[in-house]
Amino acid sequence: NAGVTQTPKFQVLKTGQSMTLQCAQDMNHNSMYWYRQDPGMGLRLIYYSASEGTTDKGEVPNGYNVSRLNKREFSLRLESAAPSQTSVYFCASSQSSGNTIYFGEGSWLTVV
């Protein structure tokens, strides 16, 4: 019973490098989300995909891009990593907006 799976779990990047966080859900959910969690700032929405083929900006989208590859997968890309993007990233999914939301285990990203 995998639920929401995200990779990698840990990553260290140098400033300016790029990387993609992968996320997949096996619950046949329509909506998927990417959040970041920072001390003192709480959880903030980066991007979301209400359904396959659509993506929209959340509260803090600058410096990120996303791709809803298919119904199962939603990736987050950092094109040119900055130290301010050091954070814990969570992927999540729900049947649709307003339903119970399920989170992955998180990806710890450090940009040096």
Q: How far is the CB of 80 from other proteins (least distance, A)?
A: 26
Residue 8: asked if its preceding bond is cis (omega within 30°), the reply is yes
Which residues from 6-45 bind other proteins, rule CB under 8 A?
A: 31, 33, 40, 42-45
Question: Which one of 20-28, 62-70, 71-79, 101-109 is the stretch in contact with other proteins (CB under 8 A)?
Answer: 101-109
Count of CA atoms in the C-beta half-sphere (13 A) of 13: 26
Among 25, 24, 70, 31, smallest CA distance to 47 is for 31
By beta-carbon proximity to other proteins, the closer residue of 17 and 72 is: 72
